[in-house]
Amino acid sequence: MSMSAERLKQLANRSEDAIDFSDVPELDEAFFRTAKLVEPTSKKQVTMRIDANVLDWFKARGKGYQTRMNAVLKAFMESQSK
């Protein structure tokens, strides 16, 4: 479900004082001692032939469909590597 442009504008204009952070744990020293930086992997642009109904199905789920397709392929790859 994507947010409307109007809703995103409202959220962007909200002051920090109006945001409820009560359910967000504070990041303390312990967090930063064990935290690891995870950088995104580089991607290569390719041309693929995909069945029209498969592409339509992913596109119907909205923005980011190519990222979701990559995630499905990656999950399959990782499951085959075990």
What does the pLDDT look like over 32-49, one tens digit per residue? 899 988 888 889 999 999
d(CA 46, CA 70): 12
Is there a contact between 68 and 58 (Cβ–Cβ < 8 Å)? Answer: yes
Q: Would you state the pLDDT for residue 22?
A: 87
Provide the total of helices (H) and of strands (E) in the chain, helices listed first. Answer: 4, 0
d(CA 70, CA 76): 10
Structural tokens at position 25? 């744990």
Q: Would you state the pLDDT for residue 26?
A: 86
Q: Would you state the pLDDT for residue 81?
A: 87
Q: Would you state the pLDDT for residue 11?
A: 86
> Residue 26 in 3-state DSSP?
coil
Q: Would you state the pLDDT for residue 15?
A: 87
Which residue has tokens 């504008």?
Answer: 9
Residues lower than pLDDT 70 in the chain: 1-2
